[in-house]
Structure 1
Amino acid sequence: MESKPSNSPSSLVDQHVFPGDVVLDLSKMTNQTIKLGSGLRQDGDAISAMKAGKLRFAKPNKYWVESSHKRYVPCAGDTVLGIVVDSKADNFLVDIKGPTLAFLPVLAFEGGTRRNIPKFEMGTLLYARVVMANTGMNPELACMDATGKAAEFGPLKDGYMFESTTGLSRMLLKSPPCPLLETLGKKLAFEIAVGLNGRVWVNASSPSIIILVANSIMKSESLSPVQQKIMVDNLLQRVQ
């Protein structure tokens, strides 16, 4: 969607908005392309909120409403952790915690052809990208980035997956890295994959590290950055 802001409309960014609130007026904006994320909709020149939460902004020009829910509403561009629940001739059906199952075409992998279709057992955990999410239709996934490369997408083996809220997932994915992951990463070696659908996967060389990292994450949502660091330091001292 193209619009033209003369200056970045920042008055409502990081503020609480509610369904129906007009957060952007395109008639007052020039010379810029804006991308709308979850929780926003366009009606003429008005961009309004569809759910309660905080209006967020990320460079270059993406806006979305950030809220913390257990239920996930798919949005194109989101990275998600999905669980394979069935396979068909042309696609896999994947649970991504949304209102409906998502489908993952068997060719939606780097170099995907009919001769090298992947085989996934039911229950396989996948890190995937939402490529299409329209109202009334099942979301479509891909296990490759926008350039067609596998990147970090695909099946996640071993490790431990747990459910979180969508707000906690977004906190973990913020840039620069959230204090919690930064502090843990200085002391421990582990892998992590975070889905915007409220799922987190952790893997490490020992179960004790996996448990420590997972517990730290689950306890962190209501803590300030300083409190997160203190909590992690205390947990690490106990382990050592």
Structure 2
Amino acid sequence: MESKPPISPSSFVDQQVFPGDIVVDLSKMANQTIKLGGGLRQDGDAISVMRAGKLRFAKPNKYWVESSHKRYVPSAGDNVLGIVVDAKADNFLVDIKGPTLALLPVLAFEGGTRRNIPKFEMGTLLYVRVVKANTGMSPELSCMDATGKAAEYGPLKDGFMFETSTGLSRTLLSSPPCPVLETLGKKLAFEIAVGLNGRIWVNAASPSIVVLVANTIMQTESMSPVQQKIRVEKLLQRLQ
């Protein structure tokens, strides 16, 4: 009997995949550990696709399916932008564009204790990390990195937040750097926080720069990297 060749995830990376496709056979990958992101699930030794899109890879070992959807499916390890909608004794309830509200424990902050619980007004925008995303349960968030430090997490003040597709968010966070952000960053001074849930926050000293950056990001979503760079350079020339 002819043996089947091992399923290598590298052969599927950047390719279109569909629900039910098996992209990894763990039994053929001795001594290798991989991390699953959104759109993938494990059933025994088989890693299969849950939604249509492109299989993506990020070093050292994370795989996910990139889909340009407005709806976000939470996945542990994702950095997202959330909006505080309510506060309870033990948790803040946060909207992250998922199927249900997420829980942000009041102690999930660097040095958090019952004596220094942060006070957030309803509508406060937060940059947070998804730490748990189990089926049938509310996702759990944190304002700390894996070492317990606040790092870049926490409230985002001032600026402008807008929503886009989850696919665009992943593109902006891709490596090598997205041509749009790379080109804008060489000429303009601004802050940006990109959530994998399709929310983006931009802040700058001038409101006109905020508007320019936000509009440029939204207008270039469907363009190729080369087209994006040309478009941004033309926009910047008009400012000179």
Amino acid at match of 2:163: E
Secondary structure of the residue aligned to 2:115 is helix
Aligned to 1:185: 185
Amino acid at match of 2:19: P
RMSD of Structure 2 on Structure 1 (CA): 1.2
Q: So what's the TM-score if we normalise by structure 1?
A: 0.95
1:174 aligns with 2:191: no
1:125, distance to aligned residue in structure 2 (A): 0.2
Aligned to 1:157: 157
Amino acid at match of 2:103: F
Aligned to 2:61: 61
Amino acid at match of 2:22: V
CA distance in 2, matches of 1:151, 1:229: 31
- Confirm or deny: 8 A CA contact 2:7 2:23 kept in the other structure: no
- Confirm or deny: 8 A CA contact 2:8 2:24 kept in the other structure: no
Which shows bigger deviation, 182-191 or 42-51?
Answer: 42-51
Which shows bigger deviation, 189-198 or 218-227?
Answer: 218-227
Secondary structure of the residue aligned to 1:114 is coil
1:108 aligns with 2:100: no
1:44-102 CA-partner distances (Å, limit 9, x unpaired): 11110000001111221211111110000000000000000000111100000000000
Aligned to 1:3: none
CA distance in 1, matches of 2:129, 2:198: 14
- Confirm or deny: 8 A CA contact 2:127 2:143 kept in the other structure: yes
1:124-178 CA-partner distances (Å, limit 9, x unpaired): 0000000000011000000110100000000000000000100000000112211
1:7, distance to aligned residue in structure 2 (A): 9.8
Secondary structure of the residue aligned to 2:222 is coil
1:27 aligns with 2:27: yes
Amino acid at match of 2:52: A
Aligned to 2:147: 147
Aligned to 1:52: 52
Amino acid at match of 1:209: I
Amino acid at match of 2:205: S
Identity among equivalent pairs (%): 84
Q: State how 1:73-152 maps to structure 2 within 5 Å.
A: 73-152=73-152
CA distance in 2, matches of 1:183, 1:99: 35
CA distance in 1, matches of 2:237, 2:90: 51
Aligned to 2:227: 227
Amino acid at match of 1:46: A
Give aligned pairs, total: 235
1:9, distance to aligned residue in structure 2 (A): 3.5
CA distance in 1, matches of 2:39, 2:108: 27
Following TM superposition, the consecutive aligned residue runs of length 4 or more in structure 1 with deviations greater than 4 angstroms are none
1:239, distance to aligned residue in structure 2 (A): 2.4
Aligned to 2:3: none
1:8, distance to aligned residue in structure 2 (A): 5.6
